[in-house]
Structure 1
Amino acid sequence: MTVVIKVGGARAVDPAGALADVASLVEQGNEVVVVHGGSTKVDETLERLGIEPEYVETPSGVVGRFTDETTMEVFEMAFGHLNTQLVAGLQSEGVDAVGLNGVDGKLLYGPRKSAVRVVEDGKKKIRRGDHSGTIKQVNGDLLESLLGDSYTPVVAPPMAGKDDDEIIPVNTDADRSAAAIAGELDATLVLLTDVSGVYEDPDDPDTLIESVETSDDWQALEAAAEGFMGRKIMAAEEALSGGSPEVVVADANADEPILSALDGDGTHIKAGAVTEEQ
């Protein structure tokens, strides 16, 4: 089995249990790719430098980071530190991990978006100077080569952004990075976060949506996903449309978070729930 695991970057997420589970999966003969976020680390670093993190809302209601040139430099520094820490943690668990970012070997590649449409004070505007991008290609050969040699890739943004005739590092969402990789490898995707899955009532953990198998289930899932969870559902759709057989949204802080997620915990979304019309 091939599994892509997204480890969240929120303050409330402790990666220790996930790293132990990765070691167990690898020991059992599974191929594992770890993808990690780190927005919290970026914000903390910006604040230490006296820079206010900036988030913008798109016309579709999605809230994301506006990444100017200075923020991009901090982004590269923070994500590089986190990547090294996770690789070292996996090495301590006996896993032969290799750290990569999306620029390495053009692992994650697509056009830079220097201008973004945003909503400010109820008005639609164009903001220029953004360093973000949309993944259009994943270098699956690079990942398969590493996996075939028994290495465990640990992947993080930034991605390789095509900017006219240049390739520059640009920001991209870690959940969607994991989704693109899972789709490329036809792998099960596990999105670990700081809650137990998707709740029908976002304020009530007892309303966990356990299984999503039909288009009606999918519509109910989309209606329930609010805030940060909306981005995870967007990533789930991209993974399933790309070739992933299943996406699981589960609690990073559970005992054996990955193993329990693969065994039934969390919200399980099947490929059949996403139709071509969606």
Structure 2
Amino acid sequence: MQHVSIIKIGGNIIDDKEATTRFLLKFSQVPGYKLLIHGGGKIATQIAERLGLKAQMVDGRRITDQSMLEVVTMVYGGLVNKQLVAGLQAKGCNAIGLTGADGNSVLAQKREVATIDYGFAGDIVAVNAQQISSLLEQQLTPVFAPLTYDTTGSMLNTNADTMAATIAWSLASRYNVHLIYCFEKKGVLSDPDNDNSVIPALTLPMYEQLKQQGIISKGMIPKLDNAYTALRKGVQRIIICHADELQTVVSTSTVSGTTLSL
């Protein structure tokens, strides 16, 4: 079965031009089929402020009203996405920038209001695995912005970690899928204040215990919840690592970051 590497790059790397440049070089050197999903970083907030719009965040998640939806669509789907695509082209990687709306790639629905109204936040309904496979088989490298769309024609702001995991398991019946989350930390940490306290291997029971103890918390929880769902749905390998370690993780047997298992 053909191998595909699905790599998600965090927003904090996107915010750092030097870190982004290093990452794009390493990503361009990943062999075989590959796909990139990127976060948004702080650029949308900065541009919103220039436009006189105040960003609203709850537990690290953006409230996306109509005005902010217009900003994130422009920034994530335009500025950030096309800068990444151009950077990859300069490194010999033939990339194509996409949102979920392009080619009917990722369909979502507006999140229902429970306790918090997140506005135009999208929960994924379906992934068009055939369309994404077609791009890969044309030797193109899809670069997805964290944007989806719904059946009414509205764009929706969608969590990039969720998007990466969902695309990964949607392709798992067609390919041997490896999912790699790259961000500014060395992996999942046992001590959030100690960047060297990496947990090299994390099983699902270990994760549940550490979550109950509050050792794993905040934004790491949805990332790991999505990752374990992906493992249960057929993704072969999932690693969470520092962006600078991507090439090591992909190309060698050297253990780096945190490897997840059930």
TM-score range with shorter-chain normalisation?
A: 0.7 to 0.9
Q: Is residue 223 of structure 2 the alignment partner of residue 226 of structure 1?
A: no
Q: What root-mean-square deviation, in Å, do the aligned CA atoms of Structure 1 and Structure 2 show?
A: 1.8
Q: What aligned pairs does 1:9-24 form with structure 2 within 5 A after superposition? A: 9-10=11-12, 11-12=15-16, 14-24=19-29
In structure 1, which of residues 68, 74, 78 is the aligned counterpart of residue 71 of structure 2?
74
Structure ranking higher in strand proportion: 1
Q: Which residue of 1 aligns with 2:34?
A: 32
Q: Which residue of 2 aligns with 1:147?
A: 136
Q: Which residue of 1 aligns with 2:202?
A: 212
Question: Taking structure 2 as the reference length, what is the TM-score of the superposition?
Answer: 0.88
Q: Which residue of 1 aligns with 2:232?
A: 241
- Contact 2:186 2:196 (C-alpha < 8 Å) held by counterparts: no
What are the superposed Cα offsets for residues 47-74 of structure 1, whole Å, 9 maximum, x if unpaired? 11121110125xxxxx411100000000
**Structure-1 separation of matches of 2:65 and 2:112:** 9
In structure 1, which of residues 98, 101, 124 is the aligned counterpart of residue 99 of structure 2?
101
**Structure-1 separation of matches of 2:137 and 2:222:** 31
Q: Is residue 254 of structure 2 the alignment partner of residue 268 of structure 1?
A: no
**Structure-1 separation of matches of 2:81 and 2:154:** 19
The code of the aligned residue for 1:50 comes to G
Q: Which residue of 2 aligns with 1:276?
A: none
**Structure-2 separation of matches of 1:116 and 1:159:** 21
**Structure-1 separation of matches of 2:50 and 2:210:** 38
Q: Which residue of 2 aligns with 1:183?
A: 169
1:51–1:230: structure 2 CA closer, same or farther, 3 Å change rule? same
Query: Once structures 1 and 2 are overlaid, which stretch shifts more, 132-141 or 236-245?
Result: 236-245
Gap runs ≥5 in structure 1: 58-62, 119-126, 274-278
Gap runs ≥5 in structure 2: none
**Structure-2 separation of matches of 1:12 and 1:84:** 16
Q: CA deviation at 1:19?
A: 1.5
Q: CA deviation at 1:141?
A: 0.7
Question: Taking structure 1 as the reference length, what is the TM-score of the superposition?
Answer: 0.83
1:220–1:259: structure 2 CA closer, same or farther, 3 Å change rule? farther
**Structure-2 separation of matches of 1:114 and 1:216:** 30
Q: CA deviation at 1:114?
A: 5.5
The code of the aligned residue for 2:115 comes to R
Q: CA deviation at 1:221?
A: 4.8
- State the secondary structure of the residue aligned to 2:189: coil
- Contact 1:114 1:131 (C-alpha < 8 Å) held by counterparts: no
Query: Once structures 1 and 2 are overlaid, which stretch shifts more, 44-53 or 144-153?
Result: 44-53
- Contact 1:212 1:221 (C-alpha < 8 Å) held by counterparts: no
- State the secondary structure of the residue aligned to 2:145: strand
